[in-house]
Amino acid sequence: MPSGPAWTVIARREFLERVRTVWFAIVTVLGPVGMIALIVVPAWLAARSADEKVTIQVVDRSGENLFPAIARTAAAAGARLDLQSVAPAIEEEVLLARIRDEKINGFLLLPEKVLEGESAVYRGDNATNFRIQVQLKQAINAAALEVRARQAGIELETIAQLYNPQIDVLARHDTGRGEASSAEASFLVGYAVMFILYMSILLYAVNVMRSVVQEKTSRVIEIVVSATRPRSLMLGKVVGVGSVGLLQLGIWFVMALLLLTYREQVLGAFGIDGAGEVELPSLGAVDVAVILAYFALGYFFYAALYAAIGAMVNSDQEAQQAQTPVVLLLILPVVMVQVVANDPRSGLAQVLTQVPFSSPVLMPMRYLLDGATWIDVAISLGILVASILGAVALAGRIYRVGILMYGKRPTLRELARWLTYR
């Protein structure tokens, strides 16, 4: 008989019961690996993205030849900007065509009265990259100081102490394929959609796992399996829970569209003025369809994995540990969101939005930022559908065997054997 206070006996039993599981060992190893990946991978990708030069053409209509000073200041600050001077009279349609054909990332327009405080305008496919906005603003203000010092005939250091110009840069997100929109608003809308998809996929996929675990532990599954095949049971759970998610998400997007359409009236009802000054990109029916498609496919992909996890474990405690690797796969694209936002048409953004683990979360954001063509979306959806078929096939084999196993914790070797069963 064990000795000691009752609580120590219970604590020892609870501790050993969890520590002795194979999932505890796996998660203990994967935890630090996942932490390192969450820190190193996004930083490495961001560093690679920062090393890539951004091509920007400068249209100087100020008449003061600001371009040499802007280019020199940007280079001295270490900005990875390939600044090119173009004729002041060039038409914006020509520059937008160059953005659309990916010959340049964007163009910087310096208006005639920029030295008098009129804002410069940057239009580009990476206008949501706030680092570039800051670099351009610093270079323009430094160039303005040089011109003023030259005009006044005094030292640059002296005029810098007497006058500190703050010429703003209005960033307009534009890929040359449609209407431009505020960079900040485009980023916020894309980020909001990404976060909603991440939370929805995670919550509803976890519900599938918990439903499987609950029925397995209550032995209700024995009655259900006697009337239907395990694979049909798994498919029914995935489709049923997913339908609830689609319905809820659809209602949310309808409400969001109504609020965006009538936001002035809504804010006016609360006595808030200035609603018309808030510029938000519009979401059309096609945009909503793309978002819902990625939610549905992303949900089915992860729900199949979670259903397999639910069939492998014997309790909610084991399920919490066993789901950690899958959660890490879903969290990783969330921490890489800035890579896509900084340059939606970059090679890194394209790879991240094609991989099935991250495409359901990141591709809708990239699409809303106009960084993906319909061909990109079609390829991404094709890869995701193929991945779902593979995940469902593998999960179905695990589900078929594991759903009727009680008390015994499967080893990795046994899991591999389950996958080979026909």
pLDDT of the chain along its 422 residues, tens only? 455 565 565 566 656 665 666 656 666 666 666 556 656 666 666 666 555 678 888 998 888 888 888 888 888 877 778 888 888 888 888 988 888 888 888 888 888 888 777 888 888 887 777 788 888 888 888 887 777 777 666 665 555 545 555 778 777 777 766 555 555 666 777 777 778 778 877 777 787 788 777 777 766 666 666 666 766 777 777 777 777 777 777 777 777 777 766 767 766 776 666 544 445 556 677 887 888 888 888 888 888 888 888 777 777 777 777 788 888 888 888 888 878 887 888 888 888 899 998 898 889 888 888 788 889 999 999 999 999 888 888 877 777 777 766 666 666 677 777 777 66
Together in a domain, 364 and 265: yes
Together in a domain, 299 and 285: yes
Q: Which of 163, 178, 193 is the last residue of a domain?
A: 178
pLDDT at 183: 57
Strands (E), 101-211: 106-110, 120-124, 169-173, 181-182
Residue 24 tokens, joined: 């505890």
Domain carrying residue 107: 54-178
pLDDT at 4: 54
SS3 368: helix
Q: Which of 160, 178, 196 is the last residue of a domain?
A: 178
How far, CA to CA in Å, does 147 sit from each of 134, 138, 140? 20, 14, 11
Look at residue 311 and tell me if it is in a domain.
yes
pLDDT at 384: 92
Together in a domain, 381 and 234: yes
- % of the chain at pLDDT higher than 70: 69
Angle, helices 183-217/230-261, rounded to nearest 10 degrees: 150
pLDDT at 345: 82
Together in a domain, 166 and 210: no
Together in a domain, 170 and 240: no
Look at residue 391 and tell me if it is in a domain.
yes
Together in a domain, 77 and 14: no
d(CA 85, CA 70): 10
Each residue's pLDDT tens digit, 149-186: 776 666 655 555 455 557 787 777 777 665 555 556 66
Residue 220 tokens, joined: 């209700």
pTM of the model: 0.66
Together in a domain, 338 and 404: yes
Look at residue 1 and tell me if it is in a domain.
no
Question: Strand pairing of 106-110 and 120-124?
Answer: antiparallel
pLDDT at 77: 78
Q: Which of 154, 178, 202 is the last residue of a domain?
A: 178
Together in a domain, 98 and 199: no
Side-by-side strand order, sheet with 181-182: 81-86, 54-60, 106-110, 120-124, 169-173, 181-182
Cβ(388)–Cβ(357) below 8 Å: no
pLDDT at 383: 95
Total structural domains within the chain: 2
Q: Strand pairing partners for 58?
A: 85, 108
